[in-house]
Amino acid sequence: MTRTRTTPTGLVAARLPLEPGPPIDPFALAGGTGILFHSGSRVRVGLGTALRIALPGGLDSPADLTNAVAGLAAIPCHDQGDRPAGAVTAFSALPFERSEAGALVVPEVTYGRDGDTEWVTVVAASHADLPRSPSRLRSWLTAAQTTPGRSGDGQPGSVPSPVVPRSSDSAFVAMVTQALEAIGRGDLVKVVLARHVDVTLGQAIDVPVLLRRWHDLEPNCTVFSVPSPQGQFVGASPELLVERSGSEVISRPLAGTAERFIGSEGSVLPGALLESGKDAIEHRLVVDAIAEVLGPLCVHLDVPAQPDLVHLHNIVHLGTTLSGTLARQPSGAVPDSLALVAALHPTPAVGGVPAGAARAMISRLEREPRGRYAGPVGYVDANGDGRWMLGIRALTLDDRTARLTAGVGIVAGSEPTVELVETNLKLTAVLDALTPRQRTTRSEKTGQTVST
C-alpha cells in the first residue's frame, strides 16, 4: 500500500467520518512501525507514507518550513463530515539539533479521534483511489490492527540484561562539574546535560504492548510512536512545547523535579520542591524564555506568576501554562505551528540560557549526539494547526535493544551527585514502562541504577 512521493503533485485526500461499530485500539492499529499520538481523548494514528516532505535545513531553514506547510495546503481535501476541509496532517520526530535535516510524513491513512468523534483521512494518487463510502472503513481499520504478542509484557524473554550506561557515573559527575565551573565564570546561566543507557531484552520488543502499558502508567502524558532513522522513537512526554489552534497558542513548560512519594493516600509532594530556590530559578528561566519568544507574536499572552504541580507516576515537576492569542502578520495569517516550533526550540527546558552558549556546551561535553531525544515530536496540518511535544521520557527501539536518555538542568547551586540521582530517577520512569517486572533501586551513595 505504501508509495513514497517527494512532491504533492497529483495527490488528493478525503476525510470521512466513521460509522458506529467496534472500538478501534490505537496502539494495535499503529503497530510496531506506524505513527501514534495519544493524549487523553485525542488520538492520531498514521499508516503508510503518501508523501515525505524533506526539511534539509532543519529548523534553521524558514524556507523549508514554509514550503512544507504550503505543500500540505496544496493537497485538495474533500470532507464528507461536518468539519472544514484541509485536514491533511504531517507528522514528525525532529532532531534535537536545529540544523540537522529532518522530514515530515503524510500518512496514506490517518485515523483521528477527538472525544467521541472519529474520522479517517485518506491521501491517494488520484480520485479513483479514494474510498467512496465510509461504510467499510471501520472493518478495514479493525483488520489492520496487530495482534498483541508476548514480548515486553512480562512473559519469559522480556527480562533485560543489566542496564549499560554509555558513560560512567563519574564521567557524568565530571561533566556537570565542568558546566558549574562555566556557570561560575559567567559563561552561561543554565545548561541541560543528558546521558544515555542501553537495554537489551531477550526478544523483540512488542511496541503496541509497550505503548498501551505506558499510557496506563502515565495517563497525563502524550504517548507517541514515530519512525526515525535510528529506529522507532517512542515515549510518554509530559511537556507541551507548543500547540496552535487557529489563532490560539499554548505552551506548557516543565522544569524543577522531585521524586514522587506514594503513600496510603496517594501522592505527596515533597515541600522542598516548592521551597527550592534552585528549582524556582530553573523553572522561571524556561518560562521567561518562552514568554520572550511568544510575547511579540501575540496580541495577548497570559503568563502565570507561579507554577503548578505536575504529578507523574514516580516524579513531580513544576509546570506553567502560557496561553495567548496570536497576532496577524502583514499577510493576514498567524504563524503556523511549525514556525512556532522553530521560534521556540530548544527552550531552556532542554537546552539552556543563553541558548547559543548552552548548545555549544552540550555539543562539547556530551559524548554522543542526542538524535531525536529532546527534539520536537508532533504534527502540523494543512491549516497550520498542530501540537508538538518535547521528545523526553522516551527511548529509541531497534528490535531487542532500547536506548534511553535522560537530561537534567544545571544552574548555580546544582550538586553534581544530586543531578546524577535525578537522571536515574528519569531513566527509571522509562524503565518502569519497558520492563514492568524489573525492580529498579538506587544507591544512595553513588546514585547508580541497579536492576534486580
Tens digit of each residue's pLDDT (9 = 90 or more) over 212-237: 999 999 999 999 999 999 999 999 99
- Which of 86-90, 94-98, 117-121, 408-412 has the lowest average pLDDT? 86-90
Domain ranges of the chain: 12-144, 164-451
pLDDT of 135 > 90? The answer is: no
pLDDT tier at 341, thresholds 50, 70, 90: very high
pLDDT tier at 154, thresholds 50, 70, 90: very low
pLDDT of 45 > 90? The answer is: yes
pLDDT given for residue 161 in this prediction: 57
Pick 273 or 24 by higher pLDDT: 24
- Which of 31-35, 72-76, 103-107, 311-315 has the lowest average pLDDT? 311-315
pLDDT tier at 268, thresholds 50, 70, 90: very low
- Which of 35-39, 214-218, 228-232, 270-274 has the lowest average pLDDT? 270-274
pLDDT of 409 > 60? The answer is: yes
Q: What does the alpha-carbon distance between residue 324 and residue 168 come to, in Å, rounded to a whole number?
A: 43
Residue 129 class from Cβ within 10 Å (0-12 exposed, 13-18 middle, 19+ buried)?
A: middle
CB 355 within 8 A of CB 344: no
pLDDT given for residue 274 in this prediction: 72
Report the pLDDT averaged over residues 167-182: 94
Say what the pTM is.
0.90
Average model confidence (pLDDT) across the chain: 87
pLDDT given for residue 352 in this prediction: 96
Pick 103 or 168 by higher pLDDT: 103
pLDDT tier at 438, thresholds 50, 70, 90: low
pLDDT tier at 263, thresholds 50, 70, 90: very low
pLDDT given for residue 253 in this prediction: 97
Torsion angle (degrees, nearest 10) of CA 295, 297, 302, 303:
-30
pLDDT given for residue 414 in this prediction: 93
- What is the longest distance spanned by two Cα atoms in the chain? 67
Q: What is the topology classification, in CATH, of domain 164-451?
A: Anthranilate synthase (3.60.120)
Q: Which one from 190, 282, 366, 419 is the annotated catalytic residue? A: 190
Q: Which one from 97, 239, 282, 422 is the annotated catalytic residue? A: 239
Report the pLDDT averaged over residues 270-277: 70
Q: What does the alpha-carbon distance between residue 43 and residue 64 come to, in Å, rounded to a whole number?
A: 27
Decide if 239 is catalytic.
yes
- State residue 37 phi and psi, 5-degree precision: -135, 120
- Which of 19-23, 334-338, 442-446 has the lowest average pLDDT? 442-446
C-alpha dihedral sign at 170, 172, 178, 183: negative
- β-sheet bridge partners, residue 126: none
pLDDT of 150 > 80? The answer is: no
pLDDT given for residue 406 in this prediction: 95
> Hey, what's the cell of 60?
534553521
Residue 154 class from Cβ within 10 Å (0-12 exposed, 13-18 middle, 19+ buried)?
A: middle
